[in-house]
Amino acid sequence: MPALYFLLTVLAAGVLVFLMRQPGAARAMTVWALAALLPVLAALSAALSAQGHAERTLSGVPAQDVQVTVTTTGQSRTLTLSAQDAACVARALHLNARVTLDNPGGRMNIGPGTQVGGTLPERATVEAMSIRGLTCPHLRAQRGG
């Protein structure tokens, strides 16, 4: 499907170039409409391509709970995280974000100095989950700091 939109974008660009080189070959509204259509088609093609890439990336990754040991400010705790929460924690660590993780054992602050032992999802997997609509209901952003 993305290839179809890409070809349609190239075709529209070709028609626009042809019309621009032939003065009076088309009405101004036709040229304007083609010019306005190009960015929409390009964005649609890119979005569909990213969705397809995310789907391929996630097809080989099982969604399973992971056990990690989180150490922050001298406090260490072993947690079992869902695949979604593990991706959220991995993204927060990668972005050096200050967040609070709500879990059954209580709240835990995660920030730039946090160490995580165990296996978190790879960055490509987290990015693919983000494209597919990753939500983080158990993470809360902290203010300032």
24, pLDDT greater than 70:
yes
What would the pLDDT profile of 8-17 be if each residue is shown by its tens digit? 899 999 998 9
Report the distance separating Cα 55 and Cα 86, nearest Å. 19
Report the distance separating Cα 42 and Cα 45, nearest Å. 5
Report the distance separating Cα 83 and Cα 66, nearest Å. 7
Question: What is the pLDDT confidence band of residue 71, given thresholds at 50, 70 and 90?
Answer: confident
Mean pLDDT of 39-57: 90
Beta bridge partners of 108: 101
Query: Domain segments of the chain: what residues?
Result: 2-59, 66-141
What would the pLDDT profile of 120-138 be if each residue is shown by its tens digit? 999 999 999 999 889 999 9
What is the pLDDT at residue 91? 93
What is the pLDDT at residue 145? 55
Decide: 99 and 142 in contact? Cβ < 8 Å: yes
- Chain center to CA of 90: 13
**How much is the CA Rg of the chain, to the nearest whole Å?**
23
Residue 5 DSSP code:
H
Residue 145 DSSP code:
-
70, pLDDT greater than 80:
yes
